Protein backbone atom coordinates (compact mmCIF):
# COMPACT_ATOMS: atom_id res chain seq x y z
CA UNK A 1 0.00 0.00 0.00
CA UNK A 2 2.60 2.49 1.12
CA UNK A 3 5.09 1.21 -1.42
CA UNK A 4 2.74 2.13 -4.27
CA UNK A 5 2.30 5.58 -2.88
CA UNK A 6 6.04 6.10 -2.64
CA UNK A 7 6.96 4.93 -6.11
CA UNK A 8 4.31 7.17 -7.61
CA UNK A 9 5.70 10.07 -5.69
CA UNK A 10 9.27 9.36 -6.79
CA UNK A 11 8.59 9.57 -10.53
CA UNK A 12 7.98 13.27 -11.19
CA UNK A 13 11.02 14.57 -9.41
CA UNK A 14 13.35 11.98 -10.93
CA UNK A 15 12.63 13.54 -14.31
CA UNK A 16 12.79 17.08 -12.97
CA UNK A 17 16.12 16.79 -11.25
CA UNK A 18 17.99 15.07 -14.07
CA UNK A 19 17.09 18.07 -16.25
CA UNK A 20 18.61 20.36 -13.67
CA UNK A 21 21.71 18.22 -13.42
CA UNK A 22 22.27 18.47 -17.16
CA UNK A 23 22.03 22.23 -17.19
CA UNK A 24 24.24 22.50 -14.17
CA UNK A 25 22.40 24.02 -11.28
CA UNK A 26 23.12 27.35 -9.72
CA UNK A 27 23.26 27.22 -5.99
CA UNK A 28 21.61 29.93 -4.00
CA UNK A 29 23.33 31.46 -1.05
CA UNK A 30 22.62 29.56 2.10
CA UNK A 31 19.55 31.05 3.72
CA UNK A 32 20.23 32.98 6.87
CA UNK A 33 18.27 31.00 9.41
CA UNK A 34 15.72 33.52 10.62
CA UNK A 35 14.30 31.62 13.49
CA UNK A 36 13.39 32.81 16.90
CA UNK A 37 15.19 30.03 18.77
CA UNK A 38 18.53 31.31 20.02
CA UNK A 39 21.72 29.83 18.51
CA UNK A 40 19.78 29.37 15.34
CA UNK A 41 22.03 31.45 13.16
CA UNK A 42 24.93 29.08 13.75
CA UNK A 43 23.14 26.09 12.20
CA UNK A 44 24.60 24.72 8.96
CA UNK A 45 21.38 24.37 7.01
CA UNK A 46 21.05 22.76 3.61
CA UNK A 47 21.94 24.35 0.30
CA UNK A 48 19.05 25.25 -1.97
CA UNK A 49 19.32 25.18 -5.75
CA UNK A 50 17.96 28.12 -7.70
CA UNK A 51 14.71 26.31 -8.44
CA UNK A 52 14.16 25.75 -4.71
CA UNK A 53 15.10 22.08 -4.74
CA UNK A 54 17.55 20.90 -2.10
CA UNK A 55 21.12 19.90 -2.85
CA UNK A 56 22.25 16.48 -1.61
CA UNK A 57 24.57 17.20 1.31
CA UNK A 58 28.23 16.43 0.82
CA UNK A 59 30.31 15.27 3.78
CA UNK A 60 27.44 13.53 5.62
CA UNK A 61 29.88 10.71 6.43
CA UNK A 62 31.40 12.90 9.12
CA UNK A 63 28.06 13.91 10.65
CA UNK A 64 26.94 12.50 14.00
CA UNK A 65 25.78 8.89 13.64
CA UNK A 66 22.61 8.43 15.71
CA UNK A 67 21.20 5.00 15.00
CA UNK A 68 20.87 1.98 12.72
CA UNK A 69 17.36 0.53 12.29
CA UNK A 70 17.25 -2.68 10.26
CA UNK A 71 14.23 -3.86 8.30
CA UNK A 72 15.36 -7.06 6.58
CA UNK A 73 13.51 -8.22 3.46
CA UNK A 74 13.19 -11.61 5.13
CA UNK A 75 10.87 -10.12 7.76
CA UNK A 76 8.91 -8.07 5.21
CA UNK A 77 7.55 -10.49 2.66
CA UNK A 78 10.70 -10.43 0.53
CA UNK A 79 10.89 -6.69 -0.05
CA UNK A 80 11.13 -4.20 2.77
CA UNK A 81 9.75 -0.73 2.01
CA UNK A 82 13.00 0.89 3.02
CA UNK A 83 15.67 -1.68 2.21
CA UNK A 84 17.35 -2.80 4.61
CA UNK A 85 19.87 -1.19 6.98
CA UNK A 86 19.12 2.45 7.77
CA UNK A 87 22.09 4.42 9.05
CA UNK A 88 20.86 7.74 10.35
CA UNK A 89 23.07 10.82 10.78
CA UNK A 90 22.41 14.36 12.01
CA UNK A 91 24.35 17.43 10.92
CA UNK A 92 26.70 18.31 13.83
CA UNK A 93 25.60 21.91 14.52
CA UNK A 94 21.97 20.75 14.75
CA UNK A 95 23.05 17.95 17.09
CA UNK A 96 24.86 20.43 19.36
CA UNK A 97 21.74 22.58 19.46
CA UNK A 98 19.56 19.57 20.30
CA UNK A 99 21.95 18.48 23.02
CA UNK A 100 21.79 21.91 24.64
CA UNK A 101 18.12 22.77 24.20
CA UNK A 102 16.24 19.57 23.39
CA UNK A 103 14.91 21.21 20.23
CA UNK A 104 15.62 20.65 16.57
CA UNK A 105 16.48 24.11 15.22
CA UNK A 106 15.54 25.47 11.81
CA UNK A 107 18.19 24.23 9.40
CA UNK A 108 18.35 20.75 10.98
CA UNK A 109 19.38 18.10 8.44
CA UNK A 110 19.19 14.36 9.01
CA UNK A 111 20.29 11.77 6.53
CA UNK A 112 19.12 8.18 6.29
CA UNK A 113 21.44 6.10 4.15
CA UNK A 114 20.30 2.62 3.30
CA UNK A 115 22.28 -0.55 2.64
CA UNK A 116 21.24 -4.00 1.50
CA UNK A 117 22.36 -7.01 3.50
CA UNK A 118 25.83 -8.16 2.50
CA UNK A 119 25.59 -11.32 0.39
CA UNK A 120 29.06 -11.29 -1.17
CA UNK A 121 31.86 -13.79 -1.46
CA UNK A 122 33.09 -13.13 2.03
CA UNK A 123 30.09 -14.93 3.49
CA UNK A 124 31.22 -18.45 4.35
CA UNK A 125 27.57 -19.46 4.01
CA UNK A 126 24.24 -17.75 3.31
CA UNK A 127 20.85 -18.51 4.80
CA UNK A 128 18.23 -17.88 2.14
CA UNK A 129 15.37 -17.84 4.57
CA UNK A 130 16.75 -15.17 6.90
CA UNK A 131 19.13 -13.39 4.53
CA UNK A 132 21.89 -13.92 7.06
CA UNK A 133 25.57 -14.28 6.20
CA UNK A 134 28.07 -16.44 8.02
CA UNK A 135 31.14 -14.28 8.60
CA UNK A 136 34.25 -15.01 10.60
CA UNK A 137 32.49 -13.50 13.61
CA UNK A 138 29.42 -15.71 13.25
CA UNK A 139 25.97 -15.59 11.64
CA UNK A 140 24.66 -12.10 11.19
CA UNK A 141 23.74 -9.15 9.03
CA UNK A 142 26.45 -7.03 7.45
CA UNK A 143 26.30 -3.87 5.32
CA UNK A 144 26.20 -4.57 1.59
CA UNK A 145 25.53 -2.26 -1.37
CA UNK A 146 23.94 1.16 -0.83
CA UNK A 147 20.21 1.09 -1.55
CA UNK A 148 19.07 4.65 -0.95
CA UNK A 149 19.74 8.13 0.31
CA UNK A 150 17.05 10.17 2.10
CA UNK A 151 17.15 13.54 3.76
CA UNK A 152 14.86 15.42 6.10
CA UNK A 153 15.15 19.17 6.72
CA UNK A 154 13.36 21.38 9.21
CA UNK A 155 12.74 25.03 8.51
CA UNK A 156 9.51 26.55 9.80
CA UNK A 157 10.36 29.86 8.10
CA UNK A 158 10.58 28.24 4.68
CA UNK A 159 8.19 25.30 4.58
CA UNK A 160 4.47 25.22 5.28
CA UNK A 161 4.57 21.44 5.68
CA UNK A 162 3.45 20.13 9.10
CA UNK A 163 6.15 20.87 11.67
CA UNK A 164 8.23 22.72 9.10
CA UNK A 165 9.79 19.38 8.11
CA UNK A 166 10.31 18.26 4.51
CA UNK A 167 11.41 14.81 3.36
CA UNK A 168 13.42 13.96 0.27
CA UNK A 169 14.70 10.89 -1.53
CA UNK A 170 17.76 11.17 -3.78
CA UNK A 171 17.29 7.75 -5.35
CA UNK A 172 17.96 4.12 -4.63
CA UNK A 173 21.06 3.11 -6.56
CA UNK A 174 24.13 5.25 -6.95
CA UNK A 175 24.89 7.71 -8.41
CA UNK A 176 22.34 9.46 -6.24
CA UNK A 177 20.75 12.57 -7.68
CA UNK A 178 22.46 15.90 -6.98
CA UNK A 179 19.21 17.61 -5.98
CA UNK A 180 15.70 16.58 -5.04
CA UNK A 181 12.31 18.12 -4.43
CA UNK A 182 10.52 17.51 -1.15
CA UNK A 183 7.73 14.94 -1.17
CA UNK A 184 4.18 16.09 -0.75
CA UNK A 185 3.51 16.27 2.98
CA UNK A 186 0.91 13.52 2.73
CA UNK A 187 3.60 10.97 1.76
CA UNK A 188 5.84 11.39 4.75
CA UNK A 189 4.92 13.97 7.40
CA UNK A 190 1.83 12.36 8.90
CA UNK A 191 3.53 9.09 9.87
CA UNK A 192 6.48 10.98 11.32
CA UNK A 193 4.19 13.34 13.22
CA UNK A 194 2.07 10.55 14.65
CA UNK A 195 4.85 8.09 15.50
CA UNK A 196 8.13 9.96 15.95
CA UNK A 197 8.78 10.41 19.68
CA UNK A 198 10.09 13.96 19.46
CA UNK A 199 9.06 16.63 16.93
CA UNK A 200 8.49 14.26 13.95
CA UNK A 201 11.82 12.47 14.60
CA UNK A 202 12.01 8.82 15.62
CA UNK A 203 14.25 9.61 18.57
CA UNK A 204 12.96 6.47 20.30
CA UNK A 205 15.06 4.45 17.81
CA UNK A 206 18.19 6.63 18.03
CA UNK A 207 20.21 5.90 21.18
CA UNK A 208 22.49 8.89 20.60
CA UNK A 209 19.54 11.30 20.63
CA UNK A 210 17.82 9.53 23.54
CA UNK A 211 20.97 9.85 25.61
CA UNK A 212 21.52 13.48 24.71
CA UNK A 213 17.99 14.79 25.08
CA UNK A 214 18.16 17.27 27.98
CA UNK A 215 14.35 17.04 28.33
CA UNK A 216 14.65 13.40 29.38
CA UNK A 217 17.43 14.16 31.83
CA UNK A 218 15.39 16.97 33.31
CA UNK A 219 12.44 14.66 33.75
CA UNK A 220 14.61 12.14 35.58
CA UNK A 221 16.00 14.85 37.82
CA UNK A 222 12.80 16.72 38.60
CA UNK A 223 11.50 15.76 42.04
CA UNK A 224 7.88 14.58 42.20
CA UNK A 225 5.64 17.61 42.47
CA UNK A 226 3.36 18.31 45.37
CA UNK A 227 -0.24 18.97 44.35
CA UNK A 228 -0.86 22.48 43.10
CA UNK A 229 2.80 23.24 42.58
CA UNK A 230 3.44 24.41 39.02
CA UNK A 231 6.37 23.54 36.83
CA UNK A 232 8.03 26.91 36.99
CA UNK A 233 8.56 26.67 40.72
CA UNK A 234 10.53 23.42 40.50
CA UNK A 235 14.18 24.23 40.79
CA UNK A 236 16.02 21.62 38.76
CA UNK A 237 19.50 21.08 40.19
CA UNK A 238 22.28 20.63 37.68
CA UNK A 239 24.16 18.20 39.89
CA UNK A 240 23.70 16.29 43.14
CA UNK A 241 24.88 17.96 46.35
CA UNK A 242 28.54 17.74 47.36
CA UNK A 243 29.68 14.98 49.70
CA UNK A 244 32.88 14.12 51.48
CA UNK A 245 34.87 11.79 49.23
CA UNK A 246 35.17 8.28 50.68
CA UNK A 247 38.57 8.05 48.95
CA UNK A 248 41.34 10.24 50.42
CA UNK A 249 43.41 12.39 48.05
CA UNK A 250 46.37 12.75 50.40
CA UNK A 251 48.77 10.39 48.67
CA UNK A 252 50.15 8.56 51.71
CA UNK A 253 46.66 7.99 53.08
CA UNK A 254 45.37 7.05 49.65
CA UNK A 255 47.94 4.32 49.03
CA UNK A 256 47.18 2.72 52.38
CA UNK A 257 43.46 2.99 51.65
CA UNK A 258 43.98 1.19 48.35
CA UNK A 259 46.20 -1.50 49.85
CA UNK A 260 43.54 -2.23 52.48
CA UNK A 261 40.99 -2.51 49.68
CA UNK A 262 38.48 -0.29 51.48
CA UNK A 263 36.89 0.77 48.17
CA UNK A 264 35.59 -2.78 47.84
CA UNK A 265 32.79 -1.74 50.18
CA UNK A 266 31.24 0.39 47.38
CA UNK A 267 27.88 -1.08 46.44
CA UNK A 268 28.44 -0.45 42.73
CA UNK A 269 31.29 -2.24 40.96
CA UNK A 270 32.00 -4.31 37.87
CA UNK A 271 31.17 -7.93 38.75
CA UNK A 272 34.26 -9.14 36.94
CA UNK A 273 37.42 -7.75 35.43
CA UNK A 274 36.99 -6.84 31.73
CA UNK A 275 39.47 -5.75 29.05
CA UNK A 276 40.33 -2.07 29.34
CA UNK A 277 39.54 0.20 26.41
CA UNK A 278 42.26 2.50 27.71
CA UNK A 279 46.00 2.33 28.31
CA UNK A 280 45.68 0.96 31.87
CA UNK A 281 48.29 -0.74 31.92
CA UNK A 282 48.23 -1.87 28.29
CA UNK A 283 45.16 -1.57 26.08
CA UNK A 284 43.08 -4.69 26.67
CA UNK A 285 44.49 -5.67 30.06
CA UNK A 286 41.80 -6.60 32.56
CA UNK A 287 40.39 -3.89 34.83
CA UNK A 288 37.59 -3.65 37.38
CA UNK A 289 35.93 -0.36 38.30
CA UNK A 290 34.43 0.59 41.69
CA UNK A 291 32.00 3.55 41.84
CA UNK A 292 31.34 5.59 44.97
CA UNK A 293 27.62 5.80 45.81
CA UNK A 294 27.29 9.42 44.71
CA UNK A 295 28.89 8.99 41.31
CA UNK A 296 26.85 5.82 40.76
CA UNK A 297 23.63 7.71 41.54
CA UNK A 298 24.71 10.61 39.37
CA UNK A 299 25.46 8.34 36.40
CA UNK A 300 22.21 6.44 36.95
CA UNK A 301 20.17 9.65 36.88
CA UNK A 302 22.01 11.00 33.88
CA UNK A 303 23.51 14.19 35.26
CA UNK A 304 26.05 16.01 33.09
CA UNK A 305 28.13 16.94 36.14
CA UNK A 306 28.88 14.66 39.06
CA UNK A 307 28.85 15.94 42.64
CA UNK A 308 32.00 17.07 44.40
CA UNK A 309 33.25 14.06 46.37
CA UNK A 310 32.57 11.54 43.57
CA UNK A 311 35.26 8.86 43.50
CA UNK A 312 36.22 6.00 41.20
CA UNK A 313 38.84 3.33 41.74
CA UNK A 314 39.93 1.08 38.94
CA UNK A 315 41.81 -2.11 39.77
CA UNK A 316 44.45 -2.99 37.20
CA UNK A 317 45.15 -6.68 36.66
CA UNK A 318 47.97 -8.60 34.98
CA UNK A 319 46.90 -10.13 31.66
CA UNK A 320 45.94 -13.37 33.49
CA UNK A 321 43.11 -11.42 35.17
CA UNK A 322 44.09 -12.88 38.56
CA UNK A 323 46.94 -10.81 39.89
CA UNK A 324 46.22 -7.25 41.00
CA UNK A 325 49.09 -5.03 39.84
CA UNK A 326 47.89 -1.47 40.47
CA UNK A 327 45.11 1.10 40.67
CA UNK A 328 43.89 4.15 38.80
CA UNK A 329 41.94 6.66 40.86
CA UNK A 330 39.81 9.69 40.08
CA UNK A 331 38.24 11.90 42.77
CA UNK A 332 36.19 15.02 42.10
CA UNK A 333 37.53 17.68 44.47
CA UNK A 334 35.53 20.63 43.17
CA UNK A 335 31.97 21.21 42.02
CA UNK A 336 33.27 22.80 38.83
CA UNK A 337 35.16 20.31 36.68
CA UNK A 338 37.09 23.17 35.06
CA UNK A 339 38.48 21.21 32.10
CA UNK A 340 39.66 18.44 34.42
CA UNK A 341 41.25 20.63 37.07
CA UNK A 342 38.32 19.84 39.36
CA UNK A 343 39.35 16.16 39.35
CA UNK A 344 42.28 14.58 41.18
CA UNK A 345 44.00 11.76 39.27
CA UNK A 346 46.58 9.13 40.09
CA UNK A 347 47.68 5.81 38.68
CA UNK A 348 49.87 3.33 40.54
CA UNK A 349 51.61 0.61 38.56
CA UNK A 350 52.41 -1.35 41.71
CA UNK A 351 50.54 -2.49 44.80
CA UNK A 352 53.68 -2.18 46.98
CA UNK A 353 55.58 0.86 45.77
CA UNK A 354 53.69 4.14 45.61
CA UNK A 355 56.43 5.80 43.58
CA UNK A 356 55.66 3.67 40.51
CA UNK A 357 53.45 6.10 38.61
CA UNK A 358 53.43 7.01 34.91
CA UNK A 359 52.84 10.68 35.83
CA UNK A 360 52.81 12.62 39.09
CA UNK A 361 49.47 12.62 40.91
CA UNK A 362 47.40 15.76 41.17
CA UNK A 363 44.46 17.78 39.88
CA UNK A 364 43.94 18.13 36.15
CA UNK A 365 46.80 15.78 35.17
CA UNK A 366 46.94 16.43 31.42
CA UNK A 367 47.49 12.84 30.34
CA UNK A 368 44.47 11.60 32.26
CA UNK A 369 42.12 14.56 31.79
CA UNK A 370 42.78 14.76 28.04
CA UNK A 371 41.44 11.31 27.31
CA UNK A 372 38.79 11.36 30.04
CA UNK A 373 37.38 14.63 28.68
CA UNK A 374 35.46 12.44 26.24
CA UNK A 375 33.49 10.90 29.11
CA UNK A 376 30.44 11.93 31.11
CA UNK A 377 32.04 14.65 33.27
CA UNK A 378 35.38 12.85 32.82
CA UNK A 379 34.00 9.40 33.71
CA UNK A 380 34.48 6.95 30.85
CA UNK A 381 33.09 3.78 32.45
CA UNK A 382 29.43 2.91 32.23
CA UNK A 383 27.58 1.58 35.23
CA UNK A 384 27.74 -2.21 35.45
CA UNK A 385 24.58 -3.90 34.09
C1 LIG B 1 4.63 4.59 7.93
C2 LIG B 1 5.52 5.48 8.60
C3 LIG B 1 6.56 6.26 7.81
C4 LIG B 1 6.38 6.98 6.64
C5 LIG B 1 5.13 7.13 5.81
C6 LIG B 1 7.65 7.60 6.37
N7 LIG B 1 8.56 7.28 7.32
FE8 LIG B 1 10.47 8.03 7.47
N9 LIG B 1 10.74 6.97 9.14
C10 LIG B 1 9.86 6.05 9.69
C11 LIG B 1 10.49 5.37 10.81
C12 LIG B 1 9.87 4.26 11.67
C13 LIG B 1 11.77 5.94 10.93
C14 LIG B 1 12.80 5.58 12.00
C15 LIG B 1 14.07 5.06 11.46
C16 LIG B 1 13.95 3.95 10.46
O17 LIG B 1 13.24 2.97 10.68
O18 LIG B 1 14.65 4.08 9.45
C19 LIG B 1 11.89 6.94 9.89
C20 LIG B 1 12.99 7.76 9.70
C21 LIG B 1 13.21 8.59 8.63
C22 LIG B 1 14.36 9.44 8.45
C23 LIG B 1 15.47 9.66 9.47
C24 LIG B 1 15.20 10.86 10.39
C25 LIG B 1 13.94 10.79 11.23
O26 LIG B 1 13.07 11.66 11.04
O27 LIG B 1 13.79 9.92 12.13
C28 LIG B 1 14.24 10.01 7.22
C29 LIG B 1 15.21 10.94 6.56
C30 LIG B 1 12.99 9.54 6.67
N31 LIG B 1 12.37 8.70 7.57
C32 LIG B 1 12.50 9.88 5.41
C33 LIG B 1 11.20 9.59 4.98
C34 LIG B 1 10.67 9.99 3.70
C35 LIG B 1 11.47 10.65 2.60
C36 LIG B 1 9.38 9.60 3.68
C37 LIG B 1 8.33 9.82 2.59
C38 LIG B 1 8.66 9.28 1.31
C39 LIG B 1 9.11 8.92 4.93
N40 LIG B 1 10.23 8.95 5.71
C41 LIG B 1 7.87 8.39 5.25
C42 LIG B 1 8.56 5.85 9.30
C43 LIG B 1 7.95 6.44 8.21
C1 LIG C 1 43.87 7.12 26.08
C2 LIG C 1 42.78 7.22 27.01
C3 LIG C 1 43.01 7.20 28.53
C4 LIG C 1 43.98 7.81 29.25
C5 LIG C 1 45.19 8.59 28.74
C6 LIG C 1 43.67 7.56 30.64
N7 LIG C 1 42.52 6.82 30.73
FE8 LIG C 1 41.59 6.28 32.46
N9 LIG C 1 40.19 5.25 31.36
C10 LIG C 1 40.17 5.14 30.01
C11 LIG C 1 39.06 4.31 29.62
C12 LIG C 1 38.66 3.93 28.19
C13 LIG C 1 38.41 3.94 30.80
C14 LIG C 1 37.13 3.08 30.93
C15 LIG C 1 37.40 1.75 31.58
C16 LIG C 1 38.36 0.95 30.75
O17 LIG C 1 38.01 0.53 29.66
O18 LIG C 1 39.50 0.76 31.24
C19 LIG C 1 39.16 4.54 31.89
C20 LIG C 1 38.80 4.42 33.22
C21 LIG C 1 39.45 5.05 34.27
C22 LIG C 1 38.99 5.06 35.63
C23 LIG C 1 37.68 4.46 36.14
C24 LIG C 1 36.62 5.56 36.07
C25 LIG C 1 36.23 5.97 34.66
O26 LIG C 1 36.38 7.16 34.31
O27 LIG C 1 35.82 5.12 33.87
C28 LIG C 1 39.91 5.76 36.35
C29 LIG C 1 39.84 6.05 37.84
C30 LIG C 1 40.94 6.19 35.43
N31 LIG C 1 40.63 5.75 34.15
C32 LIG C 1 42.04 6.95 35.79
C33 LIG C 1 42.97 7.41 34.90
C34 LIG C 1 44.17 8.13 35.28
C35 LIG C 1 44.55 8.45 36.71
C36 LIG C 1 44.83 8.45 34.13
C37 LIG C 1 46.16 9.19 34.00
C38 LIG C 1 47.29 8.62 34.66
C39 LIG C 1 44.07 7.92 33.03
N40 LIG C 1 42.94 7.32 33.52
C41 LIG C 1 44.41 8.05 31.69
C42 LIG C 1 41.00 5.79 29.12
C43 LIG C 1 42.10 6.56 29.47
The domains of the chain, with CATH numbers, are: 2-217 (3.50.70.20), 251-372 (no CATH)
Which residue puts its alpha carbon closest to atom 2 of ligand 1?
Answer: 191
State how far the Cα of 220 lies from the Cα of 373, in Å rounded to an integer: 24
147 pLDDT higher than 70 = yes
For residue 289, count other CB atoms closer than 10 A to its CB: 22
Task: Give the number of C-alpha atoms closer than 13 A to the C-alpha of residue 233, restricted to the C-beta side.
Answer: 7
Convert the pLDDT of each residue in 43-99 to its tens digit.
Answer: 999 999 999 999 999 999 999 999 999 999 999 988 888 889 999 999 999 999 999
Q: 350 φ, ψ to 5°?
A: -155, 150
User: Any residues with Cβ below 6 Å from ligand 1, and which?
Assistant: 2, 6, 69, 82, 86, 88, 110, 112, 150-152, 167-169, 183, 187-188, 191-192, 196, 201-202, 205
The verdict on pTM exceeding 0.75 is no
Out of 315, 360, 380, 384, give the residue to mutate to test ligand 2, the one with the largest number of ligand atoms within 8 Å of its CB. 380
Convert the pLDDT of each residue in 198-229 to its tens digit.
Answer: 999 999 999 999 999 988 876 665 555 445 44
The 10 Å CB-count burial string (b at 16+, else e) for 238-274 is ebbeebebbbbbebeebbebbeeeebeebebbbeebb
Q: Which of 156, 41, 163, 162 is nearest to 97 (CA)?
A: 41
- 27 pocket-lining for ligand 2 (C-beta < 6 Å): no
pLDDT averaged over every residue in the chain: 86
Q: Is 270 helix (H, G, I), strand (E, B) or coil?
A: coil
Starting from the CA of residue 192, give the closest ligand: 1
pLDDT of amino acid 281: 75
Convert the pLDDT of each residue in 236-276 to its tens digit.
Answer: 458 888 999 999 999 999 999 999 999 999 999 999 999 99
Amino acid sequence: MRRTLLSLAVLPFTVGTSAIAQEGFIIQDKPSAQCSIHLCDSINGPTYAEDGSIVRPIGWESWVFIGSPLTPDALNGGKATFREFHSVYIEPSAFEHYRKTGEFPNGTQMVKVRNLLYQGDDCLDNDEETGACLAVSGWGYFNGEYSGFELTVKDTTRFDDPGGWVYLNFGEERPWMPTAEPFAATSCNSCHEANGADDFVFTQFYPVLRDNDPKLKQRAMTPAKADGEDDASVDVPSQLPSVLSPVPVDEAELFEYLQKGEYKAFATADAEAHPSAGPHLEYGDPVKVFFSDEVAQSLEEGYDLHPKGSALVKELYAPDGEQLVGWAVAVKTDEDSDKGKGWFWVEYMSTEDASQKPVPAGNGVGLCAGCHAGGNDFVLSHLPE
